[in-house]
Amino acid sequence: MPTPDTAAKTSKRHGDDITACIRASANGLGVDAFMQMAAAAYYAGAKPFGREGDFITSPEISQMFGEMIALWCADLWQQAGKPGQIMLAELGPGRGTLMADILRTARNWPDFQAALNVHLVETSPQLRKAQAAALDSIQPVWHDSVDTLPRDAFSLIISNEFFDALPICQLVWQGGAWQERCIVWDDAAGHPAFAVRPLADAALAAQVPQHIAPAEGDIFEISPASRAIARTLGTHIAKTGGACLAIDYGHARSACGDTLQAVSKHKYACVLENIGQQDITAHVDFAALALAAAGAGTQSWPVITQEKFLNSLGISARAEQLAQKATPQQRGQIPLDLHRLTAPSAMGSLFKAVCWTRAGDDIAPAGFQDQERG
C-alpha cells in the first residue's frame, strides 16, 4: 500500500489530469467518463476504507456480515448437491475483509471449504496488494474484468458496493427529449460545472423504461457498464449454475432522480470538488440489472432489503452468540454494529440484495426464498 502521503499525491495528480480533460473537451465530458476517471484516480490512491477512511462498508463494520454471506453460500452449495468444485468470485473486494470472513467461516464446513476456488475481480493494483495481504493463507486468482472468470464449475459470484462505483450516464429530459448531462469548464468561474448536451449515444434513450414519465429537467440514470456486467454474469450463471448475489444501495424499481454523490471523510461532498480524491458513486438501479441478467437465461429473485437478508440468515442470534464470548467493550459494540447493518434508519433499508440463479434450477437462495420469482 502506498503511504497516505504518496496516495494523496497520486490521487491529486490523476485529479489534475481529469480537470485538464474537462478543459480540453469541446462537447463536455460525459458523467460516465468523469466517473470512470475519478474512480480510477481514487482507488489508485487506495485511501483506506473503514472507520479511519472516507467511508465504511458493511464487511468493515462487522465480521457478522461476511459470516452471513458464508452461510448463504454454503446453503446454496448444499442445495445444489454439494458439488466438488466451486468457483467463488468476489467483484470489487476492497481490502479483502469480506472474503477473509467468508473463508474463516467456511472452516465450519470442511467439504465446502475444500471445494472453494477463489477469484477476485479488481482493477486497482493497490487494493490487490491489500487483498493479497488479507488472504495470505490462500492463492486467489485476480481478474481485470468478469469476462475472464472461469465457467467450468458451479459458481457463486458475490459483491458488496461494487455496482455503485461503476459509471453512469445521466439523461436529462429537456424540451420533450432526452439530452445528456456533462461536465464543462466554466471559464468565468474558473471551475468545472454541469451542463447539458445532446446524447453521445442516441440508443440510450430507447433504454428508458416505459413507465418513466419525466417532467422537464428530470434526470434518469443508466449504467451501460453495470448492465453489460450483469449480462455477462447472467450468461455465466446460466452455463454453470450457482448464483450471483449483489448487495448495494439503490432502488428496487427504476425511477428518475440525480443520485450521483461524492463522499469524503464520512460526509457528503461536492462531486466537482477535489476530483480524484473522494469516492464518487451512484445508486444502483436493481431492476435494470435484473433485467439485463434475466435476458441471459437466469431468474432474478425480487430485490430484498439488507435488513431482511441478514435477519433471515440469523444475524441477531449470531450477535448474541458473539456477545457471550466478548470482552465488556466488544459486548457494547456488537449491538451497535448489528443496528448499523440492519436498522432501516441506518443501512438496513437503503442497502438491498439482489440474486440471480439459473432458470429452471431447483434452488431457493436463503432470504429470497419466500419471494415470488421474477
Q: Which of 15, 45, 93, 348 is close enough to bind ligand SAH by CB under 6 A?
A: 93
Of all residues in the shown chain, the one whose CB is closest to ligand SAH is: 92
Does residue 124 interact with ligand SAH by CB under 6 A? yes
Cite the beta strand spans of the chain per DSSP E.
29-30, 86-91, 116-121, 141-143, 154-160, 169-174, 177-186, 191-197, 219-222, 242-251, 261-264, 267-269, 279-281, 284-285, 298-305, 351-358
Q: What are phi and psi of 307, to 5 degrees?
A: -60, -50
* Residue from 75, 101, 122, 337 in contact with ligand SAH (CB under 6 A): 122
Collapsing DSSP to helix, strand or coil, 330 comes out as helix
| Position 101 contacts ligand SAH (CB under 6 A) | no
CB of 243 to ligand SAH, least distance (A): 18
Q: Cell numbers at residue 321, please?
A: 452468540
- The alpha carbon torsion through 182, 187, 191, 193 (nearest 10 deg) reads -20
According to CB under 6 A, which one of 123, 174, 274, 333 is a site residue for ligand SAH?
Answer: 123
Identify residues 73-92 at the interface with ligand SAH (CB under 6 A): 92
Q: Are 172 and 181 in contact (CB under 8 A)?
A: yes
Q: CB neighbours of 252 closer than 8 A, spacing ≥ 6?
A: 286, 287, 302, 303, 352
Region binding ligand SAH by CB under 6 A among candidate stretches 22-30, 55-63, 149-157, 290-298? 55-63
Interface stretch with ligand SAH, choices 10-18, 22-30, 118-126, 248-256 (CB under 6 A): 118-126
Whole-number Å distance between alpha carbons of 254 and 293? 15
Q: Which is nearer to ligand SAH, 299 or 342 (CB)?
A: 342
15: Cα separation from own chain's centroid:
23
Sole window of 119-127, 197-205, 213-221, 347-355 interacting with ligand SAH (rule: CB under 6 A)? 119-127
The smaller minimum CB distance to ligand SAH, of residues 161 and 307, is found at 161
In contact, 258 and 171? CB cutoff 8 Å: no
Q: Is 45 in the site for ligand SAH (CB under 6 A)?
A: no
Nearer to ligand SAH (CB atom), residue 57 or residue 357: 57
The three grid cell numbers given for residue 179, joined into one nine-digit string: 439530452
Under DSSP, the state recorded for 92 is S
Check: CB of residue 320 under 8 Å from CB of residue 259: no
Q: Give me the least distance between CB of 101 and ligand SAH, in Å please.
A: 11
Least separation in angstroms between residue 331's CB and ligand SAH is 25
- 120/157 Cα distance (integer angstroms): 10
Q: Write the DSSP symbol of residue 273.
A: S
Does position 94 bind ligand SAH by CB under 6 A? Answer: yes
**Residue 63 in the binding site for ligand SAH (CB under 6 A):** no
CB-wise, 1 or 317, nearer to ligand SAH? 1
- Identify the bridge partners of residue 305 per DSSP, sorted by sequence position: 352
Start-end of H helices in 164-262: 224-240
Nearer to ligand SAH, 39 or 156 (CB): 39
CB of 146 to ligand SAH, least distance (A): 8
If the CB atoms of residues 45 and 234 are measured against ligand SAH, the closer one turns out to be: 45
**Site membership for ligand SAH, residue 67 (CB under 6 A):** no
The yes or no reply on residue 162 touching ligand SAH (CB under 6 A) is yes
Q: Does 43 bind ligand SAH (CB under 6 A)?
A: yes
Q: Considering the rule CB under 6 A, would residue 118 count as an interface residue with ligand SAH?
A: no
Q: How far is the CB of 109 from ligand SAH (least distance, A)?
A: 23
Residues 6+ apart with CB under 8 A from 329: none
> According to the binding rule CB under 6 A, does residue 70 interact with ligand SAH?
no
- Decide: is 60 part of the binding site for ligand SAH (CB under 6 A): yes
Could you count the other beta carbons within 10 Å of the beta carbon of residue 169?
24
In the numeric block, which cell numbers belong to residue 112? 465446502
Binding site for ligand SAH (CB under 6 A): 39, 43, 49, 57, 59-60, 92-94, 98, 121-124, 127, 160-162, 165-166
